[in-house]
Amino acid sequence: MILEYIRYRIPESQEGEFRAAYERAADSLRESPNCLDFELSRGVESTDQYTLRIRWDSLEGHLEGFRKGELFQAFFAQVGPYVDAVEEMRHYQPTAVVGVGAGTARPPSLYDWAGGEEAFERLFTRFYETVPDDELLAPLFAGMNPAHAHHVAMWLGEVFGGPAVYTELRGGYENMLAHHLGKAITEQQRRRWVSLLVDAADEVGLPGDPEFRAAFMSYVEWGTRIAVENSRPDATPMPHAPVPRWGWGVAPPWRP
Ligand code: HEM
């Protein structure tokens, strides 16, 4: 990703036409697959100053993709008359100094909302207490590692925004995948796994609010279906992938 800044000085007499020209030119940016986003802002202290900030996918994306493509012609047809008013036109590379201020309201992670590490331990301890009594799941987990509940709690905690302990201590995605390979999990077993997990979530008092449960279930649906796919004898799963980081989706618990 690369940032482009174009700074203009526009006399008051040309301001209206300049802004109207940019409104038309903006269509080319909106249509460009190389453009991530953009904004034109006007100086507060010096109202004749304008800055256009464009985030491009890459320097090459801007110079080769956009500049040499048809969209640029339409763009330039609008803003070309203001070339002489350009004071700076440069690319900038973002640094590691980035952040979101406290003024931007963000909900806590799903991990914190659930109650942190202890909540996931409770959940999977209870869940794996019920598994040996289940006729569909018991055979699959017959030789289960005694620390299995703890390991899956670590995995889920990491997925839901907790510390990356499964990655650090248990080998991340690759190890989780290895445990599912060749298991030939059936759809009935998957459904039962989900159903017992929901029962356990209720029994151990995981938050029951619609927002949390919607996010929780969305991961459980996704994750169990992937487990089934990867467990097929003829599966060719991705050998490497990051541990997913799940969020609230379209229904966070509160809004600014
Ligand atoms: C969201 C869905 C799932 C997640 C996040 C998940 C996660 C995990 C993880 C992290 C491990 C490895 C634990 C370790 O490091 O020792 C594991 C192992 C295993 N999983 Fe899953 N799993 C999911 C779904 C399923 C389903 C649907 C089944 C079967 C119905 C299943 C059956 C197993 C089995 C049999 C093992 C090996 C247990 C052992 O021998 O220790 N998993 N799972």
> Domain containing 171 — which CATH number?
1.10.490.10
Q: Based on the domain organization, do 116 and 212 belong to the same domain?
A: yes
Angle between helices 187-203 and 210-231 (to 10 degrees): 150
Q: Which atom of ligand 1 is nearest to the CA of 223?
A: 1
> In this predicted model, what pLDDT tens digit does every residue of 114-152 receive, in sequence order?
999 999 999 999 999 999 999 999 999 998 999 999 999
Q: What are the tokens at 67? A: 């500049």
Indicate if 153 and 70 belong to the same structural domain: no
**166 and 63 share one domain:** no
On the question of pLDDT at 99 being above 90, the answer is no
d(CA 52, CA 40): 4
pLDDT of residue 253: 87
Residues 118, 60, single domain; the answer is: no
Would you call 39 helix, strand, or coil by DSSP? Answer: strand
Alpha helices in 50-134 (DSSP H): 59-60, 70-79, 110-114, 116-130
Strands 2-9 and 86-92: antiparallel
Which residue from 148, 156, 167 has its CB within 8 A of the most atoms of ligand 1, so it is best to mutate?
A: 148
Residues 116 and 30 in one domain: no
Q: Based on the domain organization, do 226 and 140 belong to the same domain? A: yes
Give how many domains the chain has, as a whole number.
2
* ipTM of this complex: 0.96
The last residue of one of the domains, among 62, 92, 122, is 92
Confirm whether 212 is domain-assigned.
Answer: yes
Q: What is the model's pLDDT at position 255?
A: 58
Residue 192: give the domain boundaries: 110-231
C-alpha 106 – ligand 1 centre gap (Å):
31
Domain for residue 162, yes or no?
Answer: yes
Which pTM value belongs to this model? 0.74
137 and 60, same structural domain? no
Pocket of ligand 1 (CB under 6 A): 137, 140-141, 143-145, 148, 151-152, 155-156, 170, 175-176, 179-180, 183, 185, 189-190, 193, 220, 223-224, 227
- Could you tell me if 115 and 227 lie in one domain? yes
Claim to verify: residue 65 and residue 129 sit in the same structural domain: no
> How far is 183 from 235, CA to CA, in rounded Å?
11
Residue 238 lies in a domain: no
Tell me the C-alpha distance between 12 and 50, whole Å: 12
Do 204 and 118 sit in the same domain of this protein?
yes
The DSSP symbol for 44 reads: S
User: Are 11 and 73 part of one and the same domain?
Assistant: yes
Whether 80 shows a pLDDT value over 60: the answer reads yes
How many whole angstroms from its chain centre is CA 6? 30
Percentage of residues of the chain with pLDDT beyond 70: 99
Q: Are 51 and 10 in contact (CB under 8 A)?
A: no
Residue nearest to atom 36 of ligand 1 (CA): 179
Write the CA distances from 228 to 3, 28, 128, integer angstroms: 42, 44, 19
Question: How far apart are alpha carbons 231 and 126 in whole angstroms?
Answer: 24
- Is the residue at 251 inside a domain? no
Of 168, 170, 155, 146, give the one whose Cα is nearest residue 117: 155
* 3-state secondary structure (DSSP) of residue 45: coil
Same domain, 122 and 217: yes
Q: Is residue 120 part of a domain?
A: yes
